[in-house]
Each structure stands twice: as C-alpha cells, then as structure tokens.
C-alpha cells in the first residue's frame, strides 16, 4: 500500500518528470510511446504515489524506476498502449522485437530519470557510521577495476579495444584498453555512490551489480558509444543482437562489481567497526560457514534432481559426461549433482539472511539460477571446452532450454534452504538478545528488492529470446 507520507509535491514532481520523459521518449523512439505527455504525466504521478516513499535513496529510486518502466513496456505494446495500426496481426515475439526501441526508451528516458529524481529527494533514516560515501567510492572503484579486467578478456578476444579508442579519435588497442579500464572504474564508483546504503550480503550485492550492469549495456554500447563516435544512435533489435556479447560482458562485469564490493566493504567494516563485543555474533564465522555449506549442499539435491530432468531431455547430461572424457550417462549425472552441490553451497553462503519469507527466497533463487545460466553454459562451459567465450546470440539461443532448468534449480534450492534456516533460527530466537541481532540481519520489507527481481529476471529472460 502507498505510504501516508506521500505528499502532493512528490506526485507533482513525478508527473512533471513523467511528462518530460513521455515527450522525449516519443520523439526519440519515433513511436507512440506512452502517448507522449498525457500518459507520461499519469504514469509519473502513479509512480510517485505508489513508490515515491520507498525511493529513499538515488539507488533505490533507480531500481524502482527501472522495474516500473519495464512493467509499463510489458503492458504497453501489446495491451494498454497498443495503437492497433497494424493491418495484420503479428505474433507476440515479432511484436516485442518491433517494440525493442521503445523498451530502450522506457528504461533510459522514463524509468531512469524518474527513479533518480524521486530517489534524490528521499529522506532515508539515519545511516550507521560505517556507511561512508568516501569509502563507497573507493571500494566501488576497486570493484570496477576488477570487473573491467574480466570484461576485458572478452574485449581482447573480439578485438574491440580499437572501437573504444575511436571515442578519442584513435585506433590504438592500448588506448582503448586504458579507456575501458577508466570507464569500468568510473562505473564502479557510481555503483558505490548509488547503492552503498542498500548493501547487505554478497549475494544481494551481486543482484544489485547485475541490474546495474544490464542498465549500462543500454546506456553504454547502445547509446553513449555511438553518440560519442559521432554516429546515429540506433535502438533497433538488429543492433541489440549484434551487441549481445557485450550484454553478457556487462552482466559478468556487474556480478563481479557487486561481489567484490560486498566482500571488500564487509572486510572494512569488520576491521574498523565491529571490534565492540556488543556486535559479536552468537556463532563463530567457522560455525556459520559450515552450517551454510551443509544446508546449501542438502538443498541443492532437490534442485539438482529437478534440473537433471531438463538436462536429460535436452541431452545435456551426455555432453557433461563427454567433457569429462566419458560417454556414460551415470558419470554425467554424478558430475551434474556435484556441480549442483557447489552452486547450492555458494548460494547459501552468499544469500544468507536475504530471505525473510518464501516469496523472497524463490525470487532470489530465480536470480541466482539466471546468474548461473550466464556463468555456466555461456561462459565457463565453452571456455573449458574450446577456450572461447560463448557470448553470442546463437549460443544463447541454443542454451535457452537450460535456462528453464537453471531457474527451476535456483528457486527450488532456495525454498528448501530457507526452510532449513528457519528450523535453526527457531533455536536462536529463544534468547531475546540473539533474536534482536538476528532480526536486524534480515532484509526488511519495503526495500527495492522486488523492483530488482522484476528488472533482472524480466530482462535476463526476455533479451536472450528477443535478440537470439
């Protein structure tokens, strides 16, 4: 329900930004996107009324704005805003491809400015002393540097550095490499500035990074790069398909930025802010880690068995066995369950305390399943087999059946894991002091996590289909 704190000024601000966004969207996309000023005004006002009080920071507002824009696009081209001008009906996939330029416009010209504007005027509660903007910029820069290094492996493979160098009218790969790293550091610093208030566990921080990496694919290669090169900005589905490898690269970059940021930030807090005995945990780090690993391995058995049905149907179990130098189906099944166990253990360690209920657990599990679809069939498996990353639209199209399996695996694993965690937490809740500490570690309701789930899962599943 909308918060009672929403006021008329916030609604008017949302309406004004929405009107401007609708008008610019219509001009840029050369379509009836949001029907210009009229529905843009209404959509902006509705966003301010529903989400304005929850946009407590620029980062939170950005995620809510992106999720809202994606929801409008999904509802728009085929239903609410469909103009009906086509004389022949087209299938849903063909229509979605026709409206791909509108998707980019919704995100960049409507959702992003709307979310950032309302988030910038949010009034968050008093932040803990360890939430430092200066440290966020420093840690974000380090994270961006490491993420840029990983992304750069693919760019070197594809000989893409001269394209980046063309921004400064050069064709030198060395110049392009330096520019790439500088841009990666700058994006990492902006990640820290936007999201340092919302950072909790490494897992959710990876989700934040994944969403931010996806956004920068739309903002960077699709928009800013051709603009800085002096070319015409084209938001066509053909252009998006040609840049699909860059999309996967931005996904991997965002995941690394989120993971590295959370780890470095956690170490910083542990060294400088948690020396007080009051902040000690009821269980040691080793105990908590071993518990998480055991729960994750047990939970992954359920997800792995369900996933194996998809792999058997698609013949993937035989391909797994062949990678190990065997043609035996049981060998492939055993390797699959082993990898599934590792994925479950990492999920349990990374996403602990992130799921206050079963719905949140299923959503985070779906996100983690999507992450491993990008990391597994598109990255690690082709790199292991032939040394080349499979970041192409054709490779994504061939791996789409496995995407379903990864999503089933992630959701079922997360649901089983949260039930195991609840059983253990009941023992800790007997002590009021431990109960208060445990409650403070759980992600509270009202965060931008639902918007993150919508944006990441929507685009993560939709784009490989549209661009494949």
Q: State pLDDT tens for residues 339-373.
A: 999 999 999 888 887 877 888 899 999 999 999 99
Estimate the crossing angle of helix 449-467 against helix 400-428, to 10 degrees: 160
Predicted pLDDT at 217: 97
Lowest mean pLDDT, pick from 243-247, 382-386, 393-397: 382-386
Q: Which residues contact 27 (CB under 8 A, 6 or more apart)?
A: none
Predicted pLDDT at 175: 94
Domain ranges for the chain: 8-81+93-120, 133-272, 283-467
Predicted pLDDT at 444: 56
Predicted pLDDT at 81: 47
Predicted confidence band of residue 87 (pLDDT cuts 50, 70, 90): very low
Handedness of CA 146, 147, 153, 159 (dihedral sign): negative
H or E segment and range at residue 346: helix 329-350
Place of tokens 């996403």: 351
Mean pLDDT, the chain, rounded, equals: 82
Predicted pLDDT at 6: 64
pLDDT at 63 over 90: yes
- Separation CA 376–CA 357 (nearest Å): 28
Nearest C-alpha neighbor of 372 from the set 381, 359, 362:
381
- Taking residues 114-142, what's their average pLDDT? 77
pLDDT at 286 over 60: no
- Separation CA 37–CA 19 (nearest Å): 4
Check if the beta carbon of residue 145 is closer than 8 Å to that of residue 185: yes
Residue 356, SS3 per DSSP? coil
Q: Which residues contact 375 (CB under 8 A, 6 or more apart)?
A: 252, 255
Predicted confidence band of residue 283 (pLDDT cuts 50, 70, 90): low
Predicted confidence band of residue 200 (pLDDT cuts 50, 70, 90): confident
Predicted confidence band of residue 295 (pLDDT cuts 50, 70, 90): confident
Check if the beta carbon of residue 389 is closer than 8 Å to that of residue 395: no
Lowest mean pLDDT, pick from 79-83, 102-106, 116-120: 79-83
- Separation CA 251–CA 461 (nearest Å): 13
pLDDT at 419 over 60: yes
pLDDT at 383 over 90: no
- Separation CA 181–CA 166 (nearest Å): 15
Lowest mean pLDDT, pick from 32-41, 239-248, 359-368: 32-41
CB count, 10 Å around CB of 244?
23
pLDDT at 305 over 60: yes
Long-range contact set of residues 431-438: C-beta below 8 Å, sequence gap at least 24: 431/282, 434/282, 437/281, 437/282, 438/282
Predicted pLDDT at 28: 67
Check if the beta carbon of residue 321 is closer than 8 Å to that of residue 328: yes
């Amino acid at each position: 329900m909308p918060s009672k704190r929403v006021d008329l000024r916030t609604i008017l601000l949302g309406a004004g930004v929405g009107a401007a966004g609708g008008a610019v969207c219509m001009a840029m996309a050369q379509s009836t996107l949001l029907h210009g000023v009229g529905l843009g005004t209404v959509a902006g006002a509705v966003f301010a009324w529903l989400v304005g009080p929850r946009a407590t920071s620029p980062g939170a507002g950005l995620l809510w704005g992106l999720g809202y824009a994606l929801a409008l696009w999904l509802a728009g081209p085929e239903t609410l805003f469909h103009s009906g001008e086509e004389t022949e009906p087209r299938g849903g996939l063909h229509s979605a491809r026709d409206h791909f330029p509108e998707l980019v416009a919704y995100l960049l010209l409507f959702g992003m400015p709307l979310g950032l504007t309302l988030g910038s005027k949010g009034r968050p509660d008093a932040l803990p002393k360890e939430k430092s903007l200066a440290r966020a910029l420093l840690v974000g820069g380090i994270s961006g540097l490491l993420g840029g290094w990983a992304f750069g492996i693919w760019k070197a493979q594809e000989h893409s550095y001269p394209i980046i160098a063309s921004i400064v009218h050069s064709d030198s790969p060395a110049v392009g490499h330096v520019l790439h790293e500088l841009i990666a550091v700058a994006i990492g610093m902006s990640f820290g500035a936007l999201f340092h208030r919302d950072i909790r566990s490494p897992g959710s921080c990876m989700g934040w990074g994944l969403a931010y990496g996806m956004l920068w694919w739309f903002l960077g290669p699709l928009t800013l790069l051709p603009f800085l090169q002096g070319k015409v900005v084209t938001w066509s589905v053909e252009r998006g398909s040609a840049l699909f490898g860059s999309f996967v690269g931005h996904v991997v970059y965002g995941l690394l930025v989120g993971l590295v940021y959370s780890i470095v930030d956690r170490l910083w807090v542990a060294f400088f802010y948690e020396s007080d005995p009051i902040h000690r945990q009821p269980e040691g780090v080793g105990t908590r880690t071993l518990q998480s690993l055991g729960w994750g391995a047990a939970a992954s058995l359920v997800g792995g068995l369900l996933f194996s049905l998809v792999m058997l149907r698609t013949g993937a179990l035989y391909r797994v066995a062949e990678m190990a130098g065997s043609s035996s189906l049981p060998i492939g099944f055993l390797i699959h369950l082993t990898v599934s166990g590792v994925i479950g253990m990492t999920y349990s360690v990374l996403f602990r305390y992130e799921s206050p209920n079963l719905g949140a657990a299923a959503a985070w599990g779906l996100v983690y399943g999507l992450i491993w679809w990008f990391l597994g069939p598109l990255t690690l498996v082709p790199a292991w087999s032939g040394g080349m990353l499979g970041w192409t639209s054709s490779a994504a199209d061939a791996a789409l059946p496995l995407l379903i399996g990864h999503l089933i695996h992630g959701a079922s694993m997360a649901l089983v894991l949260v039930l195991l965690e609840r059983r253990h937490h009941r023992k800790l809740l007997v002590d009021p002091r431990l109960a208060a500490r445990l409650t403070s570690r759980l992600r509270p309701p009202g965060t931008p996590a639902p918007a993150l789930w919508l944006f990441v899962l929507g685009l993560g599943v939709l784009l490989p289909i549209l661009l494949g």
